[in-house]
């Protein structure tokens, strides 16, 4: 399968298994961040993939590939002026991404497996986007396909 299928499966999983609306998740448009009242998720490939042949067919001229794709996700959380609520939203984002991705490790049947490999938050990282402040929770994901 092409990487676009895994991308589509990842977005479908985020929107069908998690608390995220379709307008809050994107794989190609950072512009959605300024239009959300709560949070927005951006996902994209990260680093080098691993591609290995696993089987051959016929006279050995075609093969099935075992491909591992690495992904980064960024959850932009809007700061509304209440630091206690914001920190609670950070904790919720970390819990929500883990819970959501554990609900469908095959990403809408586009991957053999998807594993969350890390979650991080840096209180010193923040952005002003269209006049609103955002903090970022980052997560990494590894997907495997045949």
Q: Are 10 and 141 in contact (CB under 8 A)?
A: yes
Average pLDDT over residues 119-138: 96
Three-state DSSP state, 133: strand
Neighbouring C-beta atoms of residue 114, cutoff 10 Å: 24
* pTM of the predicted protein model: 0.90
Does position 27 have pLDDT exceeding 80, yes or no?
yes
pLDDT at 79: 96
Query: For residue 65, what pLDDT is reported?
Result: 80
For 52-85, what is each residue's pLDDT tens digit?
877 666 676 666 788 999 999 999 999 999 999 9
Residue-wise pLDDT for 85-111, tens only, equals: 999 999 999 999 999 999 999 999 999
The predicted pLDDT at position 52 comes to 82
β-partners of residue 133 are 79, 128
What's the helix, strand, coil split of the chain in %, to 5?
Answer: 30, 45, 25
> Where would I find the H helices in 19-139?
83-103
- Mean pLDDT throughout 20-30? 95
What per-residue string of b and e applies to 25-54 under the rule 16 or more CB within 10 Å gives b? bbbeeeebbeebeebbbbbeeeeeeeeeee
């Amino acid at each position: 399968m092409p990487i676009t299928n895994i991308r589509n499966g990842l977005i479908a999983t985020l929107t069908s298994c998690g608390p995220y609306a379709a307008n809050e998740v994107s794989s190609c448009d950072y512009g959605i961040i300024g239009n959300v009242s709560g949070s927005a998720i951006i996902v994209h490939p990260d680093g080098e993939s691993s591609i290995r042949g696993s089987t051959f067919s016929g006279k050995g001229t075609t093969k099935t590939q075992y491909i591992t794709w690495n992904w980064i996700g960024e959850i932009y959380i809007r700061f509304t002026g209440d630091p206690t609520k914001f920190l609670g939203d950070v904790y919720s984002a970390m819990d929500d991404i883990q819970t959501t991705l554990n609900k469908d490790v095959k990403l809408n049947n586009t991957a053999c497996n998807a594993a969350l490999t890390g979650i991080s938050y840096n209180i010193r990282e923040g952005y002003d986007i269209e006049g609103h402040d955002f903090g970022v929770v980052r997560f990494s994901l590894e997907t495997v396909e045949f």
